[in-house]
Amino acid sequence: MRSINERVALALRPAIVVAVCVLVAVIAVNTITQLARTTPHVGDILVFAPSAVVPVGDDDTRLLVHRQDQFGCVLDLNVLRRSGGSLVIETEIGGNTKNFRVHWAGDRTSGDTGNCGADANLVIDHRDLSILALAAGDYGISHKRIPAFADDISN
């Protein structure tokens, strides 16, 4: 005959299995939600807060973007971080690649002749938009980047 402890353990096994399955399902749904949230959507905004301090160790990433009926121009991440500005996603352009039409407003996008200007309508590939989102600290107007937080402390 089995002891009481063995019977309790056998009775609890199904409850433990169910609890583990629920936990795995919640983690999976949360991960999928986070992935869906990081993809760009029409109406999203990327804000580059102006800062005199560019984080140490950043590379000199420059993205070539397209302008409608004009030559392309350059988005230099270090210039965007120093001068500030914003990109608003206006429309999604279909096709084989996922591109977005965005509106740039800010001081400048590059320190050379590749500057897009203070106001420009641009066409940006979804991969380049993801790079810009990482540099800005994600979509939205709140800044999640540590350098922006460090700038607030030093002021």
d(CA 93, CA 36): 18
Collect all residues with Cβ–Cβ distance below 8 Å to 97 and sequence separation of at least 6: 125, 126
d(CA 124, CA 75): 10
d(CA 113, CA 49): 23
Question: What would the pLDDT profile of 3-51 be if each residue is shown by its tens digit?
Answer: 788 888 788 888 888 889 999 988 888 877 766 556 677 888 999 888 7
Of 132, 144, 130, give the one whose Cα is nearest residue 38.
130
d(CA 119, CA 94): 24
Residue 72 pLDDT > 50: yes
Q: What is the pLDDT of residue 12?
A: 85
Are 118 and 108 a contacting pair, CB within 8 Å?
yes
Q: What is the pLDDT of residue 149?
A: 40
Q: What is the pLDDT of residue 82?
A: 87
Q: What is the pLDDT of residue 97?
A: 72
Q: What is the pLDDT of residue 152?
A: 42
Q: What is the pLDDT of residue 34?
A: 67
Output b/e per residue, 56-86; b: 16+ Cβ within 10 A: eeeeeeebebeeeeeeebbbbbbbbbbbbbb
Q: Rounded mean pLDDT of 82-104?
A: 88
Residue 109 pLDDT > 50: yes
Retrieve residue 127's tokens: 């991969």
Q: What pTM does this model have?
A: 0.64
Q: Rounded mean pLDDT of 115-124?
A: 92
